Amino acid sequence: MLLITRKSGESVRIPESALVAGKVVPAAPARRRGPAASFEELAHVASRAWRPVESERLGEWELRAAGGFTRRANSVLALGDPGMPLDEALDVVRRWYGARGLPAYVQAATGAEGTQELLCAELERRGWVREVTAEVWVGALAPVADRAEGAGVVLSRAADEAWLARYQRKGVSEVALKVLGGGPSVWFATVPGAEAPAAIGRCVVDGRWASFAAVEVDPEMRRRGLATTVMAALARRALDEGASAAWLQVETDNAAARALYAGLGFAAHHAYHHYREPESSGGGR
């Protein structure tokens, strides 16, 4: 007699003579389950996916600059201990950005474990102004790849002129191109259009994680599934490189994007904020 375990977990016995063919069925792949992630892991992965052109350590903090291209690349990643009292650390931060003609920003999170909530409170108590809030959402990668065929999507390693023609930030500088092209394994997706691409997207593969960003669609071609098609094509490439989980960032007031990502199985993990130095601190451009 043979002992067979069904998918339901039930075990049954059958005569060996009744077996025609068979194989061992492995457990369902982990890549189809939603990812478990700590705030620290996601914060470091997110930082590697959007690298500045210049950075410096201040204890466990990272000071980042990229000529003013996006707050993410021009703010302090304030994780851990700066190695000195907070007021002294903030003075160093203001001088460092002031020397580069940039306002000082500190990135901190809420809804995360550790001391981030306390840091937000201390910054606000000192008059630092919260300018932008966004959320980090996470989800399993394989279901995104399964959502559409991804037909007609062109993948490349660099942001070419066609891709940049659809990108929302016009007049992209050489510094911006370095930020866009930085990361462990960067892919750009383009759906060709008549003049500019119908849709674009960017993905960075970093170990088990794939990040999605710059998913943009021609306003005249929205609600046709192009954003999903772009993400599906990028997700398949990320799966091929061994990733199993996905994350992305979305601003709290972007209702359309939030609905799209929720439909793809993403859910909010934590929120992050960019705090700008007080006007009276003497910093600025």
pTM of the model: 0.83
Does the structure show a pLDDT above 90 at 230?
yes
Q: Bridge partners of 245?
A: 140, 209
What pLDDT does 267 receive?
Answer: 95
Angstrom distance (rounded) from CA 66 to CA 218: 28
What pLDDT does 280 receive?
Answer: 66
Q: Phi, psi at residue 98, to the nearest 5°?
A: -60, -35
Q: Each residue of 52-95: pLDDT tens digit?
A: 999 999 999 999 999 999 999 999 999 999 999 999 999 999 99
- Fold classification of 139-270 (topology level): Aminopeptidase (3.40.630)
Edge-first strand order for the sheet with 105-110 is: 54-58, 61-65, 76-77, 105-110, 267-276, 129-140, 245-251, 209-217, 199-206, 186-191, 154-156
**Token pair for residue 87?**
């007021």
What pLDDT does 10 receive?
Answer: 38
Instruction: Give the domain ranges of the chain.
Output: 39-135+272-281, 139-270
3-state secondary structure of 215: strand
Name the residue among 195, 54, 213, 42 with its Cα closest to residue 113. Answer: 42
